[in-house]
Amino acid sequence: MTGRLYIPRDAAALALGADAVAAAFAGADVEIVRTGSRGLFWLEPMIEVATPAGRIAYGPVTAADVPGLLAAGMLTGGAHALRLGRPEEIPFLARQTRLAFARCGIVDPLSIEDYRAHGGLKGLARARELGPAATIEEVTQSGLRGRGGAGFPTGIKWKTTADAPGHRKYIVCNADEGDSGTYADRMLMEGDPFGLIEGMAIAGLAIGASKGYVYTRSEYPHAIATFDAALKIARREGLLGDGFDIEQRVGAGAYVCGEETSLLESLEGKRGQVRAKPPLPAHHGLFGMPTAINNLISLASVPSILADGAAAYKDIGYGRSRGTMPIQLAGNLKYPGLFEAGFGLTLGEIVNDIGGGTATGRPIRAVQVGGPLGAYFPPSLFDTPFDYEAFTALNGLIGHGGVVVFDDTVDMAHQARFALEFCSIESCGKCTPCRIGSVRGVEVIDKIMAGTNVDANLALLTDLCHTMKFGSLCALGGFVTFPVMSALIHFAEDFRRPVTQAAA
Amino acid sequence: MAEDELWNRQRAADIIAAEAGREGAALPILHALQAEFGFVPRDAVPMIAAALNITRAEMHGIVTFYHDFREHPPGRHVLRLCRAEACQSMGAEALAAHTCARLGVDWHGTTPDGAVTLEPVFCLGLCAIGPAGMMDGRPLGRLDATRVDAELAAAT
């Protein structure tokens, strides 16, 4: 073998032809390692070759480029138009602080040796030394908050679960990553599944759980397959099985099952309908037992907190938002990708400096942060720091860290209508404001868009949003008002467009 | 193929029995049945209910709650197109309109020759390379009308 080549097997890289690229190297004298993605999607498939000077990246590579790359001596890092140099020096990566994603795109996701060689299992070893109470204290001190968007302190959730009486306890990982614009869970499960397994093993130890469930959405078949394979390896290696095991369960296309109580109902084999809280899952969770339910990224952040100490994690961040967040740049951007960094970057820095503005080259008009329940921000709010509190103060949310950019061709009345239509499709039906309100909301926006009694219907829509926000049982009906009201407030002109003949 | 030709009671009973002992077995059973038959046959619903000791009405409620479970067999190929915001920002709605028109079906529809079923999906986690889709489980990124047409031409 003359060398070693790293080609991603991440679903997005596959969608852009990574398998064909790998096949094109079949005749070359080179070992191919399939990795996750580094998350620089405008450069995918981005392949890397091991050289004495470190890895050298090339991208975006198509199968047709391969003969030329080989002729240019790419297996020894030779010059070529697609040569990107050392990946760590690409500005998009060099500016990041990768903790949860430290190994993603670098290691063979199903090699436990690779995982160990890149710092894996140190956190679990330290947790075992510390014991449950000190492990929880470490996580509390780190300031880690729920990365699903609610931002509840993870350590406090764990302590509540640990203290709750129960002969059986569960740790549940929410990998039902349904928000449009988010793909961090998918990337991590495909690129570094042992990171999640280690995080859950630490959580299980901390709260005294005997069983862990990972609830993965069915839309992620590659993540499901990689994670199941990783679980088998972890059992074989003795990482699981001795008093604590993890099982993966697959969702069935219901967005609302990303809501924690609905997820628990679904895991129990029921309709994914929201439960009223209290009781909290920490007291009365899966099958009525004390359950810590955490977002995948929260759990994947834990190993580095234990390995490097709470202080190192807490030193990163902004305000009460400590540590790093994998921001997922999506939609109409020149440089879309995963950007893990400390909290506090402004929205403008994120979409313009890092994301490079729109892919279409047109001006940015709106940025939706935090998925389909997140607010739409106009450029006038681009100085908002990426932080739980700052976004809440503006009637928005950071959610799971998805940032979706729209150019100036977007019709914001249409986007507001879509938010409510989506809610009407995905409502679990348990509470009236969400179930009925979303349907009525679509009807009212249709009247506004048709130019019927616009003022009265805008007032009605605002009133309806108020009812849904404060009357809904969970975030679906409550927060769907964020995209609607932000569109109404920041893009009011779109709701008063002259009705064209075609639309009438 | 017609639904009754696909149906195999013994096979369904075996699948249900294999999964029924798990905690919260309903979804694993339904996924396994759909993997076998391509849909969840109506005749299987009372069988699952009996195995899980719940009423047929409850079981019907579970099956129909989840978008994934089909009531009827799909075509030979299933094309899923993402309808969510990130893909919208890159032109997913126009692409969907083109695809519906080309196939002559609406969402969830199957072409008369049984070749392709078109399903909507709200996010495949391919939001950085939209518009995204999936053909028989194979991820597709940066779709446009030409690429969709090529996929459909190959799906016979």
A3 vs A272, which has greater pLDDT?
A: A272
List A342's β-bridge partners, or say none.
A324
B91 touches chain A (CB under 8 A): no
d(CA A207, CA A113): 28
Q: Which stretches within B21-84 are classed as H helix?
A: 26-37, 44-52, 56-65
Q: Nearest Cβ partner of A181 from B23, B27, B127? A: B127
Q: How many CB pairs under 8 A join A and B?
A: 154
Q: Is residue A27 part of a domain?
A: yes
Helix (H) or strand (E) holding A426: helix A412-426
CATH of the domain at A262: 3.40.50.11540
Whether residue A383 sits in one domain with residue A336: yes
ipTM: 0.97
Distance from CA of A386 to the nearest CA of B (A): 19
User: From the candidates A168, A186, A219, which should be mutated to test the interface with B, based on the most B CB atoms within 10 A?
Assistant: A219
A267 shares its domain with A149? yes
A101 lies in a domain? Answer: no
**Chain B residue nearest residue A330, CA to CA:** B128
Cis bond before residue A278 (omega within 30° of 0): yes
Q: Going by DSSP bridges, is the β-strand pair A324-331/A338-342 parallel, antiparallel, or unpaired?
A: antiparallel
Cβ-defined contact of B122 to A255 (cutoff 8 Å)? yes
- A12–B140 CB contact, under 8 Å: no
Largest separation between any pair of C-alpha atoms in chain B:
51
pLDDT the model gives residue A503 = 46
Among A139, A270, A138, A128, residue whose Cα is nearest residue A205: A128
- Provide the pLDDT for residue B3: 81
The Cα–Cα gap between A499 and A59 comes to: 46
Instruction: Examine residue A186 and state whether it is found in any structural domain, yes or no.
Output: yes
Domain boundary among A407, A440, A458: A407
Looking at the structure, tell me whether residues A260 and A133 fall in a common domain: yes
Sort out which chain B residues have CB atoms less than 8 A from A271's CB and list them.
61-62, 65
Contacts of A330 in chain B (CB under 8 A): 86, 127-128, 130
A181 interaction partners in chain B (CB closer than 8 Å): 84-86, 127
Q: What type of residue sits at position A84? A: L
- Work out the pLDDT band at A498, boundaries 50, 70, 90: confident
Q: Does residue A202 belong to any structural domain of this protein?
A: yes
Q: What is the pLDDT of residues A168-209, one digit of tens each?
A: 999 999 999 999 999 999 999 999 999 999 999 999 999 999
Contact B66 A252 (CB under 8 A): yes
Cβ distance A269 to B137 less than 8 Å, yes or no, reads no
Contact B129 A183 (CB under 8 A): no
**CA of A258 vs chain B CAs: smallest distance (Å):** 13
Question: Which of B23, B25, B123 is the closest to A219 by Cβ?
Answer: B123
Residue by residue, DSSP assigns A10-39 as -HHHHHTTHHHHHHHTTTSS-EEEEE---S
The verdict on A384 and A452 lying in the same domain is no
Q: Do B84 and A372 touch (CB under 8 A)?
A: yes
pTM of the full predicted structure?
Answer: 0.97
State yes or no: pLDDT of B39 exceeds 90. Answer: yes
What confidence tens digit (pLDDT) does each residue in A436-454 have?
A: 999 999 999 999 999 999 9
Residue A430: what are its φ and ψ, rounded to 5°? Answer: -70, -40
Mean pLDDT, to the nearest integer, of A409-428? 98
Q: Assess if residue A370 is contained within a domain.
A: yes
Cis peptide bond prior to A45, omega within 30° of 0: yes
β-partners of residue A47 are: A58
Show residues of chain B in contact with A222, CB under 8 Å. 139
| pLDDT at residue A23 tops 70 | yes
Given this model, what pLDDT does residue A504 score? 42
What the block records as the tokens of A269 is: 């084999």
What φ, ψ does residue B54 adopt, rounded to 5°? -125, 165
Nearest CB neighbour to A15, from listed B88, B122, B132: B132
Residue B20 sits at the chain A interface (C-beta within 8 Å) = no
Q: Cβ contact (<8 Å) for A253 and B129?
A: no
Mean of per-residue pLDDT scores for chain B:
97
Same domain for A296 and A196: yes
Q: What angle do CA A230, A231, A237 make, to 5 degrees?
A: 90
B contact test, residue of A41, A177, A180, A262 with most B CBs within 10 A: A180
Residues A265 and A296 in one domain: yes
Nearest CB to B67; choose among A182, A253, A329: A253
Examine the domain organization and report whether A285 and A147 are in the same domain: yes
B126 touches chain A (CB under 8 A): yes
Residues in A closer than 8 angstroms to B69, CB to CB, are 252
The alpha carbon of residue A319 is apart from the nearest alpha carbon of chain B, in Å, by 29
Residues A64 and A123 placed together within one structural domain of the fold: no
> Considering only CB atoms, which chain B residues are within 8 Å of A44?
129
Does residue A179 sit within a domain? Answer: yes
Please check whether residue A102 lies inside any domain of the structure.
Answer: no
Q: What is the pLDDT of residues B68-86, one digit of tens each?
A: 999 999 999 999 999 999 9
Are A22 and A157 contained in the same domain? Answer: no
Distance of alpha carbon A233 from alpha carbon A468, whole angstroms: 46
Taking alpha carbons only, the member of A491, A9, A99, A486 closest to residue A305 is A99
Q: Which of A12, A219, A426 is nearest residue B129 as measured by Cβ atoms?
A: A12
Mean of the per-residue pLDDT values for chain A? 97
CB contact under 8 A, A180 and B127: yes
Q: CA angle, corner B148, sides to B142 and B153, nearest 5?
A: 150
pLDDT: is B4 or A226 the higher one? A226
Report the domain count for chain A: 4
Bridge partners of A83, per DSSP, are A58
**Tokens representing A351?**
């979409």
CA distance B132 to chain A (A): 9
CA–CA separation, A372 vs A388, rounded Å? 17
Whether B127 and A185 lie within 8 Å, measured CB to CB:
no
Superfamily classification of domain B77-154: Glutaredoxin (3.40.30.10)
Both structure tokens of B124: 């495949």
Confidence category of residue A347, pLDDT binned at 50, 70, 90:
very high
**CATH code, domain with A87:** 3.40.30.10
Q: Is residue A418 part of a domain?
A: yes
CB spacing of A330 vs B84 below 8 angstroms: no
By CA distance, what is B27's nearest residue in A?
A: A269
Residue of A nearest to B130 (CA): A331
Mean pLDDT of A108-115: 98
Helix, strand, coil % in chain B, rounded to nearest 5: 45, 10, 40
Averaged pLDDT for residues A138-143: 98
Q: What are the residue ranges spanned by the domains of chain B?
A: 3-65, 77-154
* CB-CB contact of A215 with A202 (8 Å): no
Q: Last residue of a domain, which of A388, A407, A426?
A: A407
Task: Tell me the chain A residues in contact with residue B108 when contact means C-beta distances shorter than 8 Å.
Answer: none
Q: For the segment A55-104, what is each residue's pLDDT rounded down to a tens digit?
A: 999 999 999 999 999 999 999 999 999 999 999 999 999 999 999 999 99
Identify which of B31, B82, B89 has the shortest CB distance to residue A250.
B31
Determine the pLDDT at residue B1.
Answer: 65
Does B63 lie at the interface with A, CB-CB under 8 angstroms? no
Which candidate in A176, A256, A404, A421 is best for mutational testing of the B interface (most B CBs within 10 A)? A404
- Chain A residues touching residue B87 (CB < 8 angstroms): 180, 331
Q: What is the CATH number of the domain that holds A488?
A: 1.20.1440.230
User: Is there a single domain that holds both residue A136 and residue A237?
Assistant: yes
**Which residue in B24, B61, B68 is closest to A252 by CB distance?**
B68
What is the predicted pLDDT for the residue at A1?
A: 54
Question: Left (φ > 0), alpha (ψ -120 to 50) or beta: where does A329 sit?
Answer: beta
B121 touches chain A (CB under 8 A): yes
Domain of A281, in residue numbers: 112-314
Residues A124 and A248 occupy one common structural domain: yes
